[in-house]
C-alpha cells in the first residue's frame, strides 16, 4: 500500500508563517511555528482525535466557533489565532472546569513535577477557583490491576486509557462506567485489568490517576534521570528510557521509535526492570566447590574458567538472546581461535541452515516494521507475535484497524490476532513446511488439488495488492524456511519497497548473534566457513556432550535445560561434561545443578554494545546504571578469557570490539556507533548491504526443487499432536520481578473442546500428559479455536513441567 504522500502547505499562526504537512492536525503544525497549544486528550498514537478535553480550542478565521486544533487538519492559507481573548477565555474555562473536581493533592502525587495538568494549569489557567462546593469523591487508590493503581478523583476523563484498551491493544477491558460528572474508568466486568500491554496506560495518563504500582512513591521527578536504552527481553527490542535514581532502574518508559515500537511497551519490558535489583540476582562470581556453588573472587573464577584450555577441541558453546553482538563475536573467536572448536550456536533446537539464511537475508527481501502498517497483506507463518515479539502484535492491529491491511494467519496454534484476520489457515503442529509447499503449489499452479482455504489464501496474497509482508519464525525449521524464497518470488516481493520477509528469531538478539558468527555453519557475516569445518549445532552439542565427545560447555546467558528442546538430553549433557562456564543473572535449574563457574551477567540496563533487530536495525545498548556489586562487563570477561586462551585481541572498550566486528562483517562495513546513534540503523538500507546481496545470490542459485516433504505424524487412537510455544511471561526475569510473579504461567494444556469431550476433561481439570513413559502435569485449558487433534504446552516455564521435557510429536492425555 503506498504510504500517503506528504505535501507541504503554508498557514499563519499568531501572525507567523508556518510550513506544515497538509492534513496534519493544527496542534502539531503549530509546533512548527514554535506555538504551543495545550491539550490533554490528543494523542495521535491512539488513533483519530476525540476532542473531549476542549483544551486546544483556537480561533480560525472564517469559522465562527472556536475549533479544537487537535481535530482540525491544516489547510493552505489557514489563519489561526491562539492568543486572543476569546481563546484565552476558553482555555481558562477548561482549566477551571478540570480543577473543580481535581483533588490537587500534588504534593503526594507521583505525577507531581511531570504532570501535564500541573504544567497546563500554570501556563493557561487563572490560578484560582470559584467553586466552593465539595468535590467529587471516590474510594482511592484502588488496584486497577496488580500493576496499575487508579485514583479516580485525580482522573480528568481524557479517554486516553480507554482508547488504548479499545483501539490499540483491543483487549476491550477498560470502559467508562456511569455518566456525566459521575463517570469513572473501570473494567467492563469489574475484574482487574490484566493484559499484556496494560502498563502503557500509566504512561498515557496526563494526570496522576493511573500510577505504576511498582513505581509508586519511589521517586520524585527531580530525583531521577532518564537514560535511553534497548530492552532485550525479546526480539522486538523496544526502545526504552530507564528512569534511574541512585544507580537503580526504578521505571522503564517507552522511547518512541516508529521504526521499532511505535512508542508502546509490553508489561514484561516495562516491569521486569525489577529483576535488576532483587536478591535473587547473581552479582558475584561463583565457582562450584565441594559440590556447592560458592561466591569467589573474580581471579579465582577466571582462573577456573581458564581451565577451558584443557578442553581444546572438546568445548561447545551456546549464546542466549540477551548477548550482544560484541559478546557473540568474542565468544566465537574464543571458541574457534582459542579453543579450536566450531561447536557454537545461538539457536534453539535445529533452526535454519546458514545457506538458507544467506538467501533469505538478501536486502531486497527484507521488510521493515513500519511496512506492517502499510502492506496490502500481512501473512504470519508459524508466529504468534504476542508471545514471540509482543510489540508487533500492536503494530499489526494498527495496520488492520487504520489502514485496512489484510491479515492472514497460518499457524498451528490459535493466535491472539485471529479476530483481526481476513484469513486463517490452521495446520497440525510442525506443519509449516507442508503448508508452505501447498501454498506455493496453489500459487504457481503446480498443485493438482488445492483445498478451499488454501486457494482463498492464494487469491488473497496474489490479488489483494502487491505489498505482502510475510512474518515467519525461526522455530519453523530449515525445511519450511527453505521455501520462503520461492514464495517471495512468486509474489514478486524481492526488491519491492514495503514488502518482503520479516523473521522473528528465537533469541532477542538472534539476528545479531547469527551475523556475528555465533553459528556452527557460518562465521561473522554469515560467511561460509573455510573447508568443511562446520561444527555441531545446539542439539548436536547436547548429544556430543552427553556422549562424552565434548567435555566442556560455555553458556553465555542461557540455560539450555530451560531454553532448549529435549530437557533430559541437556541434563545428561551438563551432567557429563567436566567444566560448565556460564554467564547468568538468575540461577535457573540447569545452572544451579551443573555450572562449574558462573560469571554474574549484566542486565540490559548495564550493557554496552550493539544488537540487531529482526528487521536488520542495528541498535545500540548504552550504560544506564553502573554495574551493581561485582558484576563485570560480559565482553570484558570474554576478552580476558580469549586472551588467556591465546587469542590476539586488543579490546579495551566495547567499542573496540564493535570496530572489529564491523570490519569482519562485510555488510556492516563502515558502520560506526555514531551512525547507529539513538534510533539505530537498518543495515539492509545501507550501501554496504550489497555484500549480503552478493552472498545471497551465490546461495540462491542451486535451489533444489521442493521434492522432499515430511508428512506430519498421524496420531493413533487416543493421541493428540503436541505443539509448543513460549509464553510472553516465560522468562527468568519475570520470575524474579516481584510485581510480575502473578503472571508466571503454570503449565496448561490447550486443547479443543471436542477432544476434551471424548477425553472426559473439563476446563481447569488437572491432567497428565504422557509420552514414552515421560509424564508431565498440566491444567486443561479448553480453547475453541484449537483445531481438533492438536494440543499445546508451554515451554520455557522452568521445572519438570516445561514442554521441553517431551520430545516426540504425539502425546496421550489423561484426567487426573
Partner 1 sequence: MKTILFDNIDEPGLNTLEVYERRGGYQALRKALSMSREDVLSEIMDSGIRGRGGAGFEMGRKVSFLPHGDMEKYLVCNADESEPGTFKDRELMQKSPHMLIEGIVIAAYAGEIARAFIYIRGEYQLQADILEAAIAEAQRAGYIGQDILASGMNLPLVLHRGAGAYICGEETGLLDSLEGKRGNPRLKPPFPAIEGLYHGPTLINNVETLSTVPAILNMGAAEYAKIGTESSTGTKLVSISGDVKRPGNYEIELGIPSREIIYGLAGGPPSGKEVKFWFPGGSSSPVLTKDDLDVPYDFDSLAKAGTMLGSGAIIVADESRRVLDTALKLAKFYAHESCGKCVPCREGTNWTHKMLQRIYTGEATPMDLDIMASVQEQIIGNCLCVLGDAMAMPIGSMVAKFRDELEGEIEAARERADGAPLEDVVALGVADEQAGPMPVH
Residues that bind partner 1 (CB under 8 A): 48-55, 57, 65-66, 68, 71, 89-90, 93-94, 96-98, 100-101, 130-134, 156-157, 159, 175-176, 178-183
Q: Which lies closer to partner 1 via its Cβ, residue 57 or residue 649?
A: 57
Q: In this complex, which beta carbon is closest to partner 1, that of residue 50 or of residue 580?
A: 50
Q: How far apart are CA 530 and CA 745, in angstroms?
A: 45
**From the CB of 131, what's the least distance to partner 1, in Å?**
6
Residue 163 or 620: which CB sits closer to partner 1?
163
**Which single residue is written with the C-alpha cell 566450531?**
342
Residue (53 or 318) nearer to partner 1, CB? 53
Count CA atoms closer than 13 A to 438's CA, side-chain side: 20
CB of 186 to partner 1, least distance (A): 12
User: CB of residue 422 vs partner 1: minimum separation in angstroms?
Assistant: 17
State the burial class of residue 102 (Cβ atoms within 10 Å of its Cβ: 0-12, 13-18, 19+).
buried
Is the bond into 141 cis (omega within 30 degrees of 0)?
A: yes
How many Cβ atoms are within 10 Å of 193's Cβ, its own excluded?
23
Judged by beta carbon, residue 96 or residue 593, the one nearer partner 1 is: 96
CB of 178 to partner 1, least distance (A): 8
Q: Least distance to partner 1 from the beta carbon of 788, Å?
A: 32
Between 7 and 179, whose beta carbon lies closer to partner 1? Answer: 179
Contacts of 675 (CB under 8 A, 6+ apart): 681
**3 state SS of 366:** strand
CA atoms of 339 and 316, how far apart (whole Å):
9
Distance between CA atoms of 52 and 8, rounded to whole angstroms? 28
**Terminus-to-terminus CA distance in the chain, angstroms?**
53
Nearer to partner 1, 71 or 283 (CB): 71
What pairs with residue 212 in β-bridges?
Answer: 148
For partner 1, the closer CB: 181 or 701? 181
CB 152 to partner 1: min, Å: 13
Least separation in angstroms between residue 54's CB and partner 1 is 5
Of 57 and 761, which CB lies nearer to partner 1 in the complex structure?
57
Least distance (Å) between residue 122 CB and partner 1: 18
Q: Are strands 766-771 and 810-815 parallel, antiparallel or unpaired?
A: antiparallel
Where does 518-672 have alpha helices with state H? 538-546, 560-563, 567-576, 589-594, 634-644, 654-664
Residue (of 512, 561, 509, 260) closest to 391 by Cα position:
260
Distances (CA, A) of 726 to 387, 429, 795: 6, 14, 5
Closest CB 61 distance from partner 1, rounded Å: 16
Which of 323/405 has CB closer to partner 1? 405
CB of 55 to partner 1, least distance (A): 8
- Cβ proximity to partner 1: between 206 and 229 the closer is 206
796 touches 767 (CB < 8 A): no
Question: Could you give the 3-state DSSP secondary structure of residue 187?
Answer: strand
Calculate the dihedral angle through the C-alpha atoms of 219, 224, 227, 230, rounding to the nearest 10 degrees.
0
Question: How many whole angstroms separate alpha carbon 719 and alpha carbon 758?
Answer: 11
Burial of 134 (0-12, 13-18, 19+ CB in 10 A): exposed
Give the separation between CA 61 and CA 687, rounded to whole angstroms: 49
Please, what's the b/e burial string for 34-56 (b: 16 or more CB within 10 A of its CB; e: otherwise)? ebebbbbbbbebbeebbbbbbbb
Rg of the chain taking only CA atoms, in angstroms:
28
Contact between 603 and 585 under an 8 Å Cβ cutoff? The reply is yes
Give the residue with the Cβ less far from partner 1, 184 or 298: 184
> Closest approach of Cβ 396 to partner 1, in Å?
21
Closer to partner 1 by Cβ: residue 177 or 698:
177
Cβ at position 52, least distance to partner 1 in Å: 5
Q: Burial, 295: exposed, middle or buried (Cβ in 10 Å; 0-12, 13-18, 19+)?
A: middle
The C-alpha atoms of residue 787 and residue 414 are separated, in whole angstroms, by 8
Residue 107 CB: number of other CB atoms within 10 A? 7
Q: How far is the CB of 47 from partner 1 (least distance, A)?
A: 12
Identity of the residue, 98 or 231, whose beta carbon is nearer to partner 1 in the bound complex: 98
Q: Which is nearer to partner 1, 7 or 128 (CB)?
A: 128
Residue 70 corresponds to which cell in the numbers above? 487537535
Q: Report residue 770 as a C-alpha cell.
A: 504422557
CB of 498 to partner 1, least distance (A): 25
430/411 Cα distance (integer angstroms): 9
Convert 245-279 to b/e letters by CB count within 10 Å (16 or more is b). Answer: eeebbbbbbbbebebbbbbbbbbbbbbbbbbbbee
* Comparison of 57 and 488: residue with beta carbon closer to partner 1: 57
Q: How far is CA 81 from CA 23, 35, 91, 141, in A?
A: 18, 10, 13, 41
Query: In the complex with partner 1, which residue's Cβ is closer, 87 or 722?
Result: 87
Minimum CB separation of residue 100 from partner 1 in Å reads 6
Q: Is the dihedral of CA 219, 222, 224, 227 positive or negative?
A: positive
C-alpha dist (Å) from residue 423 to 305, 386, 750, 762: 53, 18, 22, 30
Q: Tell me how far, at minimum, the Cβ of 5 lies from partner 1, in Å.
A: 21
Q: What are phi and psi of 377, to 5 degrees?
A: -135, 140
Of the pair 104, 175, the CB lying nearest partner 1 is at 175
Residue 635: φ, ψ to 5°: -65, -35
> Closest distance between partner 1 and the C-beta of residue 157, in Å?
6
Shortest Å distance, C-beta 183 to partner 1? 4
Amino acid at each position: 500500500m503506498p504510504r500517503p504522500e506528504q505535501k507541504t502547505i503554508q498557514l499563519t499562526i499568531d501572525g507567523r508563517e508556518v510550513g506544515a504537512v497538509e492534513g496534519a492536525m493544527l496542534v502539531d503544525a503549530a509546533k512548527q511555528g514554535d506555538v504551543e497549544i495545550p491539550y490533554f486528550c490528543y494523542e495521535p498514537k491512539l488513533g483519530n482525535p476525540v476532542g473531549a478535553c476542549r483544551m486546544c480550542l483556537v480561533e480560525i478565521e472564517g469559522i465562527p466557533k472556536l475549533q479544537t486544533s487537535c481535530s482540525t487538519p491544516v489547510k493552505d492559507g489557514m489563519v489561526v489565532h491562539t492568543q486572543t481573548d476569546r481563546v484565552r477565555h476558553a482555555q481558562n474555562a477548561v482549566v477551571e472546569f478540570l480543577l473543580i473536581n481535581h483533588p490537587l493533592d500534588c504534593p503526594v502525587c507521583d505525577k507531581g513535577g511531570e504532570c501535564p495538568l500541573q504544567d497546563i494549569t500554570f501556563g493557561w489557567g487563572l490560578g484560582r477557583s470559584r467553586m466552593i462546593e465539595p468535590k467529587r469523591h471516590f474510594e482511592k487508590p484502588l488496584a486497577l490491576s496488580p500493576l496499575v493503581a487508579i485514583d479516580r478523583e485525580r482522573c480528568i476523563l481524557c479517554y486516553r486509557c480507554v482508547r488504548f484498551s479499545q483501539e490499540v491493544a483491543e483487549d476491550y477491558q477498560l470502559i467508562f462506567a456511569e455518566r456525566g460528572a459521575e463517570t469513572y474508568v473501570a473494567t467492563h466486568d469489574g475484574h482487574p485489568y490484566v493484559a499484556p500491554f496494560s502498563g502503557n496506560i500509566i504512561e498515557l495518563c496526563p494526570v496522576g490517576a493511573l500510577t505504576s504500582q511498582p513505581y509508586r512513591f519511589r521517586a520524585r521527578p527531580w530525583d531521577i534521570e532518564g537514560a535511553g536504552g534497548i530492552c532485550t527481553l525479546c526480539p522486538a527490542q523496544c526502545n526504552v528510557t530507564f528512569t534511574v535514581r541512585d544507580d537503580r532502574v526504578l521505571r522503564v518508559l517507552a522511547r518512541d521509535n516508529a521504526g521499532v515500537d511505535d512508542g508502546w511497551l509490553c508489561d514484561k519490558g516495562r516491569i521486569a526492570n525489577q529483576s535488576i535489583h532483587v536478591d535473587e540476582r547473581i552479582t558475584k562470581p561463583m565457582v562450584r566447590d565441594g559440590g556447592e556453588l560458592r561466591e569467589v573472587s573474580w581471579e579465582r573464577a577466571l582462573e577456573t574458567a581458564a581451565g577451558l584450555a584443557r578442553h581444546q577441541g572438546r568445548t561447545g558453546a551456546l549464546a542466549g538472546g540477551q548477548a550482544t553482538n560484541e559478546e557473540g563475536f568474542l565468544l566465537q573467536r574464543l571458541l574457534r581461535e582459542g579453543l579450536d572448536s566450531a561447536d557454537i550456536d545461538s539457536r534453539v533446537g535445529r533452526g535454519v541452515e546458514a545457506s538458507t539464511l544467506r538467501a533469505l537475508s538478501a536486502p531486497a527481501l527484507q521488510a521493515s516494521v513500519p511496512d506492517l502498517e502499510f502492506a496490502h497483506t500481512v501473512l504470519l507463518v508459524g508466529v504468534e507475535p504476542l508471545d514471540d515479539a509482543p510489540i508487533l502484535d500492536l503494530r499489526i492491529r494498527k495496520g488492520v484497524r487504520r489502514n485496512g491491511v489484510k491479515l492472514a494467519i497460518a499457524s498451528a496454534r490459535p493466535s491472539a490476532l485471529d479476530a483481526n484476520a481476513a484469513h486463517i489457515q490452521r495446520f497440525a503442529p510442525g506443519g509449516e513446511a507442508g503448508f508452505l509447499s501447498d501454498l506455493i503449489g496453489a500459487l504457481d499452479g503446480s498443485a493438482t488439488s488445492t483445498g478451499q482455504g488454501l486457494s482463498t489464501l492464494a487469491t488473497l496474497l496474489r490479488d489483494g495488492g502487491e505489498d505482502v509482508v510475510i512474518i515467519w519464525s525461526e522455530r519453523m525449521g530449515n525445511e519450511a524456511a527453505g521455501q520462503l524464497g520461492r514464495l517471495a518470488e512468486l509474489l514478486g516481493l524481492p526488491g519491492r519497497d514495503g514488502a518482503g520477509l520479516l523473521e522473528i528469531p528465537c533469541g532477542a538478539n538472534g539476528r545479531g548473534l547469527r551475523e556475528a558468527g555465533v553459528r556452527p555453519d557460518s562465521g561473522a557475516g554469515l560467511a561460509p566457513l573455510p573447508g568443511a569445518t562446520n561444527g555441531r549445532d545446539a542439539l548436536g552439542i547436547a548429544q556430543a556432550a552427553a556422549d562424552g565427545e565434548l567435555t566442556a560447555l560455555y553458556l553465555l546467558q542461557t540455560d539450555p535445560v530451560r531454553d532448549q528442546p529435549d530437557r533430559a538430553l541437556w541434563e545428561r549433557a551438563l551432567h557429563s561434561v567436566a567444566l560448565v562456564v556460564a554467564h547468568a543473572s538468575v540461577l535457573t535449574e540447569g545452572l544451579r545443578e551443573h555450572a562449574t563457574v558462573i560469571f554474574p551477567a549484566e542486565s540490559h540496563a548495564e550493557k554496552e554494545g550493539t544488537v540487531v533487530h529482526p528487521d536488520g536495525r542495528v541498535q545500540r545498548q548504552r550504560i544506564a546504571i553502573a554495574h551493581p556489586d561485582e558484576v563485570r562487563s560480559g565482553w570484558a570477561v570474554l576478552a580476558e578469557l580469549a586472551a588467556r586462551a591465546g587469542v590476539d585481541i586488543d579490546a579495551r572498550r566495547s567499542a573496540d570490539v564493535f570496530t572489529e566486528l564491523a570490519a569482519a562483517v562485510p555488510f556492516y562495513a563502515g558502520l560506526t556507533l555514531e551512525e547507529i546513534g539513538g534510533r539505530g540503523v537498518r543495515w539492509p538500507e545501507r550501501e554496504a548491504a550489497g555484500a549480503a546481496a552478493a552472498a545471497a545470490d551465490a546461495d540462491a542459485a542451486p535451489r533444489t526443487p521442493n521434492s522432499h516433504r515430511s508428512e506430519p505424524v498421524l496420531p493413533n487412537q487416543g493421541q493428540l499432536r503436541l505443539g509448543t510455544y513460549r509464553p510472553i511471561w516465560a522468562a527468568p526475569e519475570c520470575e524474579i520481578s516481584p510485581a510480575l510473579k502473578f503472571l508466571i504461567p503454570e503449565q496448561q494444556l490447550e486443547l479443543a473442546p471436542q477432544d476434551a469431550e471424548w477425553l472426559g476433561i473439563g476446563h481447569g481439570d488437572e491432567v497428565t500428559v504422557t509420552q514414552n513413559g515421560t509424564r508431565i502435569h498440566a491444567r486443561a485449558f479448553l480453547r475453541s479455536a484449537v483445531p481438533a487433534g492438536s494440543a499445546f504446552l508451554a515451554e520455557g516455564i522452568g521445572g519438570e513441567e516445561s514442554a521441553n521435557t517431551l520430545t516426540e510429536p504425539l502425546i496421550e492425555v489423561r484426567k487426573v
